[in-house]
């Protein structure tokens, strides 16, 4: 009987889901009207804007806006499914005026599009426009022209719209009361999307810009097509593409940002102007920065935007929320797992109902009591619980070095041996994959993937502790402090922090003998969960602005930060660190020579012997933010 009920519910679930969606869409159509409007900017350019107006006239309504380069479709009389397909519907139920705007130069808006358009601090004329001025002008028009608005405006957006939300905050329009940059694009050279510490994230960049970057001469409702991949195995495609020089030839000559990217291989003034943090001074609206611990795209942006506002605008009402999420998962229906790792509850629903909606309701509608959102609301994986903190990193978090030792061990004590080295050969012709399976698109699950496949490769060094005798909680930035010598003049260094589960581990409800098949579950005993990984292009070890070659055989320091972590390694688990020199095709291959990587041919690629020192005079370590 129980099994029959299960199958009945299984069969009915899609119909129940569609029924709820139909109810939401019908309610919104009955209670909202749609207006499409060209809003003039100060320089005369007009931006196309879709406006959804509540029919209810019993009260004044706040405005909630998203500005996007991804289209405010559908155009015309149709209602956009975004109002009932996600948690936007909750704002519709609250009778918000909902606004979605095509940014300058995209889709139906006039003007020229500029990627992560630089912020202009001192605007002297109406020709000095940026995304903050466009937001100011849009808000000004909305509050002066929309019927029944209450004069309060909020802005939010995820990813690239997160960048536009950041720029909205910098506009400081007096009607703008609350802003939530979510997974905000913040710095595309240091850590977001297309570069990490100077290493090009070619797979994301090429697949995205081969379509998104195509020119749009005039306003249009038709989107561009992407690259026609003939090979559905991303490892094979990028390996056969060869050098970045050849990849640039494949993408063609029409995509301006791709050409700019190649023309600026170092962190020069062009990149610095596109660092969104430079605008974060004297911010007036309440800020709610949101991000995911396992965001494969903009993990860097959420942590570092929050920190920039704290430092540069200390009087701002600035709050941080980080959950156990992939890119945008907090806006989805389910936040209870990622890949094989489970979090014990629906963290997305919790966030939506306890943080985001009360935040906007309070500051835009005056509804409810002050939500008193903690300075930092952070989900700690491992413990699988939310922690409400007075600051981030928390006051009890202290840096503590754990050292590499012989025989692949880790120790809290500095090594005493006079000579101790681990080495491997890095071969660009056989780079270390970022995940063990064959994929076409970059996965989001790789951020928690099992790393056992990498542990078994000879070009990956593995160091680990014995089973922990007590819980170990990390809260803050992880710093890799490597003492290295290489046989060539350049190399990349990938450091991964891994939680090794006990051999007998299984989640409640998992089969006694789990199997990876339809109806089965992944074998979690001995699972090597990626907690955090990051890459450093060795030439930038001393400066992202001025790259330097290595001197073959000379011991040098490669020290860099990994994005913040919030994780508890439970008693009986092990802490593991892996070190490797490729992470393919996530990041492009380093030729392992000090050449211009964007201009060289594949013939420049060479093998290199990489030595990681763990001796008294040159002790490699990982500096962990240990929470007491």
Predicted local confidence at residue 23, as pLDDT: 77
For the chain, give every residue range classified as CATH 3.40.50.1820. Answer: 17-187+274-389
Mean pLDDT value of segment 168-172: 97
pLDDT at 297 over 70: yes
pLDDT at 94 over 70: yes
Predicted local confidence at residue 87, as pLDDT: 79
pLDDT at 519 over 60: no
Scanning the structure block, which residue is given the tokens 């808006």? 109
Q: How confident is the model at residue 302 (pLDDT cuts 50, 70, 90)?
A: very high
For the chain, give every residue range classified as CATH 2.60.120.260. Answer: 397-504+516-627
**CA quadruple 240, 245, 246, 248: dihedral sign:** positive
Scanning the structure block, which residue is given the tokens 């929470």? 627
Mean pLDDT value of segment 264-276: 98
Q: How confident is the model at residue 508 (pLDDT cuts 50, 70, 90)?
A: confident
The C-alpha R_g of the chain, in whole angstroms, comes to 25
Mean pLDDT value of segment 216-244: 96
pLDDT at 14 over 80: no
Query: Average pLDDT over the chain, rounded to whole?
Result: 94
The string of pLDDT tens digits covering residues 243-255 is 999 999 999 999 9
For the chain, give every residue range classified as CATH 1.10.3020.10. Answer: 195-271
pLDDT at 128 over 60: yes
Question: Please, are residues 190 and 300 in contact by the beta-carbon 8 Å criterion?
Answer: yes
The string of pLDDT tens digits covering residues 480-498 is 999 999 999 999 999 999 9
The string of pLDDT tens digits covering residues 381-400 is 999 999 999 999 999 999 99
Pairwise CA distance, residues 107 & 72, whole Å: 8
CB atoms within 10 A of CB 228: 6
Q: How confident is the model at residue 11 (pLDDT cuts 50, 70, 90)?
A: very low
Is domain 17-187+274-389 classified as CATH 3.40.50.1820?
A: yes
Pairwise CA distance, residues 240 & 230, whole Å: 12
Q: How confident is the model at residue 518 (pLDDT cuts 50, 70, 90)?
A: very low
1.10.630.10, 3.30.70.141, 1.10.3020.10, 1.20.1370.20: which CATH number matches 195-271? Answer: 1.10.3020.10
Mean pLDDT value of segment 72-89: 83
Predicted local confidence at residue 260, as pLDDT: 97
Predicted local confidence at residue 135, as pLDDT: 98
Nearest residue to 112 (alpha-carbon basis) of 263, 1, 215, 249: 215
Predicted local confidence at residue 24, as pLDDT: 78
pTM (2 decimals)?
0.95
Predicted local confidence at residue 80, as pLDDT: 73
Over pLDDT 70: what percentage of the chain? Answer: 95
Question: Please, are residues 178 and 363 in contact by the beta-carbon 8 Å criterion?
Answer: yes
Mean pLDDT value of segment 76-93: 82
Q: How confident is the model at residue 371 (pLDDT cuts 50, 70, 90)?
A: confident
Nearest residue to 295 (alpha-carbon basis) of 183, 435, 449: 183
Is domain 397-504+516-627 classified as CATH 2.60.120.260?
A: yes
Question: Please, are residues 178 and 359 in contact by the beta-carbon 8 Å criterion?
Answer: yes
The string of pLDDT tens digits covering residues 538-558 is 999 999 999 999 999 999 999
Question: Please, are residues 462 and 312 in contact by the beta-carbon 8 Å criterion?
Answer: no
Query: What crossing angle do the helices spanning 234-241 and 244-251 adopt, rounded to 10°?
Result: 100
Backbone conformation region of residue 136, classed left if phi is above 0, alpha if psi is from -120 to 50, else beta: alpha
pLDDT at 304 over 60: yes
């Amino acid at each position: 009987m129980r099994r029959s009920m299960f199958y009945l519910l299984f069969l009915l679930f899609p119909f129940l889901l569609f029924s709820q969606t139909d109810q939401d869409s019908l309610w919104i159509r009955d209670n909202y009207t749609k207006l499409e409007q060209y809003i003039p900017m100060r320089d005369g350019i007009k931006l196309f804007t879709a406006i959804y107006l509540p029919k209810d006239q019993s009260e004044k309504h706040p405005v909630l806006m998203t500005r996007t380069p991804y289209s405010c479709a559908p155009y015309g009389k149709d209602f956009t499914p975004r109002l009932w397909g996600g948690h936007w519907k909750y704002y519709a139920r609250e009778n918000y005026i909902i606004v979605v705007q095509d940014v300058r130069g995209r889709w139906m808006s006039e003007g020229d599009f500029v990627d992560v358009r630089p912020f202009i601090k001192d605007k002297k004329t109406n020709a000095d426009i940026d995304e903050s001025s466009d937001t100011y002008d849009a808000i000004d028009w909305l509050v002066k022209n929309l019927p029944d608005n209450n004069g309060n405006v909020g802005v939010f957006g995820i990813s690239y719209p997160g960048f536009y939300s950041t720029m909205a905050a910098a506009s400081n329009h007096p009607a703008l009361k609350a802003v939530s940059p979510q997974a905000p694009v913040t710095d595309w050279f240091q850590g977001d999307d297309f570069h990490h510490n100077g290493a090009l994230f070619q797979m994301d960049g090429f697949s995205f810009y081969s379509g998104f970057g195509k020119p749009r001469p005039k306003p249009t409702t038709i989107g561009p097509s992407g690259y026609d991949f003939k090979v559905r195995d991303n490892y094979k495609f990028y390996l056969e593409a060869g050098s970045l020089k050849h990849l640039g030839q494949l993408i063609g000559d029409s995509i301006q940002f791709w050409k700019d990217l190649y023309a600026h291989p170092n962190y020069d003034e062009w990149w610095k102007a596109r660092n969104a943090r430079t605008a974060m001074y004297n911010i007036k609206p309440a800020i709610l920065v949101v991000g995911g611990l396992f965001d494969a795209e903009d993990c860097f942006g959420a942590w570092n935007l929050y920190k920039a506002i704290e430092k540069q605008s200390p009087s701002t009402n600035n709050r941080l929320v980080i959950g156990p999420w992939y890119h945008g998962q907090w806006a989805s229906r389910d936040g209870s797992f990622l890949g094989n790792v489970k979090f014990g509850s629906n963290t997305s629903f919790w966030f939506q109902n306890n943080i985001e909606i009360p935040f906007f309701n309070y500051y835009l509608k005056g509804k409810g009591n002050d939500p008193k959102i903690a300075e930092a609301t952070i989900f700690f994986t491992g413990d699988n619980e939310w922690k409400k903190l007075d600051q981030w990193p928390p006051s009890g978090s202290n840096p503590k070095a754990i050292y590499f030792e012989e025989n692949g061990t880790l120790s809290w004590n500095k090594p005493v041996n006079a000579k101790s080295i681990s080495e491997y050969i890095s071969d660009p012709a056989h780079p270390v994959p970022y995940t063990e399976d064959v994929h076409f698109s970059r996965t989001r699950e790789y951020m928690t993937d099992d790393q056992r496949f990498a542990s078994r490769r000879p070009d990956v060094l593995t160091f680990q502790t014995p089973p922990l005798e007590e819980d170990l909680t990390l809260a803050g930035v992880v710093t890799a402090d490597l003492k290295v010598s290489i046989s060539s003049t350049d190399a990349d260094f990938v450091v991964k922090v891994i939680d090794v589960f006990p051999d007998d581990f299984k989640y409640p409800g998992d089969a006694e003998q789990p199997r990876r098949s339809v109806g089965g579950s992944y074998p979690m005993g001995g699972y090597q969960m990626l907690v955090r990984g990051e890459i450093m292009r060795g030439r930038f070890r001393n400066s992202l602005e001025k790259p330097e070659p290595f001197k073959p055989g000379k011991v040098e320091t490669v020290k860099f930060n990994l994005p913040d972590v919030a994780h508890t390694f439970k008693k009986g688990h092990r802490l593991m660190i892996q070190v490797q020199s490729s992470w393919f095709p996530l990041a492009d291959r380093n030729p392992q020579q000090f050449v211009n990587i964007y201009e060289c041919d594949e013939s420049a690629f060479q093998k290199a012997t990489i030595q990681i020192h763990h001796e008294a005079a040159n002790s490699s370590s990982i500096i962990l933010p240990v929470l007491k």
